Amino acid sequence: MAILPIIKGWFKQSTSTSIKIFKIMIPVSILVKILQETGLIVYIGKGLAPLMGVMGLPGEMGLVWASAMIGNIYAGIITYFSVGVNLTVAQITVLSTIILIAHTLPVELAITQKAGMKAINAFLFRFIFGFLAGVILFYIYSIFDLYQHIPSGIEKITTVSEKATWGGWVLGELKNYAIVFCYITGLIIIIDILKRIGVIDKINRWFYPVLRVLGIGKEVIPITVIGMTLGLAYGGGLIINEVNQTKLGRRNVLYALMLMSLSHSVIEDSLLMIAIGARVSGVLIFRFFFTLIIMYFVVKITKKWSEKRMARWFYTKG
């Protein structure tokens, strides 16, 4: 087997997929930076304040969630420490959980739309179910009187991704794009190798019984698993690549995107929120089962819908 054509194929796929992602990320990143610099995020945060109370959170946490949704998780964390409001462990866990479900929306929604799901519906899906998850988790902790104490010994987390100057921001963004390219290249290589040696077939057999109940076809299971573990940007990017390479069913792609929207980057992001005081019971265990339950009912409701109706509600054109 000639290795050079295979390597050329990997590089061609990774370059093509990365360019598609960068066309989305670059203008959105500029827009987000402008929103941050002009302070418009503050007004969005004030608009979210009434919803925070329903989840047992102070109104100031609306600014934290807005920062995470428009910026990223790090922006939310930095805003959280900047606000200076002491929260109980239960409140930190609720806040962390809704952030994990709905964050970095401008970039991730654009990628989701490119992969096949309407951006506005993807936004409503993540925002509404993020809010619902926060309400349910708040009542669970309140009813069972769990984690109703102020944490101690939590150090502030800072990150180099937040730059004070435009020059520093540009350098940080270029570094992020290089990392994205490396991730996508590595994932494309790994997936191709796993396909060739038959591991993908085994993954399908392992996860298919569970995801079949949710109505997700086996052809998107490997990508769904990657999105859940590594992140929606990577999982969505690979779906874009797979859609171009193969014929994936639009309904299966949609369900995969929905599942990844509620639970993605479950290891790295969950550990990040645990570091600021959140509990595993909320950011990992609750979110996982919440996702499965929501997806079960979403699939159950929409499974009998016609393709025309699905297109009207969810599918992007094309």
Helices 105-115 and 61-70, interaxial angle, to 10°? 40
Q: What is the pLDDT of residue 189?
A: 87
* For residue 45, pLDDT beyond 80: yes
Whether 257 is covered by a domain: the verdict is: yes
* For residue 204, pLDDT beyond 70: no
Q: What is the pLDDT of residue 144?
A: 97
Whether 157 is covered by a domain: the verdict is: no
Whether 197 is covered by a domain: the verdict is: yes
Mean pLDDT over residues 274-297, rounded? 94
pLDDT tier at 153 (50, 70, 90 boundaries)?
low
Average pLDDT, the chain: 85
* For residue 132, pLDDT beyond 70: yes
Whether 318 is covered by a domain: the verdict is: no
Q: What is the pLDDT of residue 162?
A: 45
pLDDT tier at 244 (50, 70, 90 boundaries)?
low
Domain count along the chain: 1
User: 49 — alpha (psi -120 to 50), left (phi > 0) or beta?
Assistant: alpha
Whether 160 is covered by a domain: the verdict is: no
How remote is the C-alpha of 287 from its chain's centroid? 12
3-state helix, strand, coil in the chain (%, to 5): 75, 0, 20
Residues 89, 147: Cα–Cα separation, whole Å: 5
Residues 134, 131: Cα–Cα separation, whole Å: 5
Evaluate whether 296 touches 231 at the Cβ level (below 8 Å).
no
Whether 158 is covered by a domain: the verdict is: no
* For residue 293, pLDDT beyond 70: yes
Mean pLDDT over residues 102-125, rounded? 92
**Which one is predicted more confidently, 55 or 268?**
55
Residues 311, 305: Cα–Cα separation, whole Å: 10
> Worst-scoring range by mean pLDDT, 74-83, 119-128, 157-166?
157-166
Whether 83 is covered by a domain: the verdict is: yes
Q: What is the pLDDT of residue 26?
A: 82
Whether 56 is covered by a domain: the verdict is: yes
> Worst-scoring range by mean pLDDT, 54-58, 149-153, 169-173, 238-242?
238-242
pLDDT tier at 98 (50, 70, 90 boundaries)?
very high
* For residue 159, pLDDT beyond 50: no
Helices 268-275 and 89-101, interaxial angle, to 10°? 150
* For residue 246, pLDDT beyond 80: no
Helices 3-38 and 40-54, interaxial angle, to 10°? 90
Beta-carbon neighbour count of residue 316 at 10 Å? Answer: 17
| % of the chain exceeding 70 in pLDDT | 92
Cut 0.85: pTM above it:
no
pLDDT winner (highest mean) among 9-23, 143-157, 280-294: 280-294
Q: What is the pLDDT of residue 173?
A: 81
pLDDT winner (highest mean) among 105-114, 127-136, 215-224: 127-136
CA distance readout (Å), 214 to 131, 166, 170, 194: 22, 45, 41, 24
Q: What is the pLDDT of residue 43?
A: 87
What residues make up the domain containing 277? 3-152+168-313
* For residue 158, pLDDT beyond 50: no
Q: What is the pLDDT of residue 160?
A: 41
Residues 73, 83: Cα–Cα separation, whole Å: 15
> Worst-scoring range by mean pLDDT, 49-53, 117-121, 249-253, 287-291?
249-253
* For residue 79, pLDDT beyond 80: yes
* For residue 169, pLDDT beyond 60: yes
**Which one is predicted more confidently, 35 or 13?**
13
Spell out where the chain has E strands.
none
> The tokens of 85 are what?
């409001």
Alpha helices, H only, 163-265: 166-197, 199-213, 221-230, 232-245, 250-262
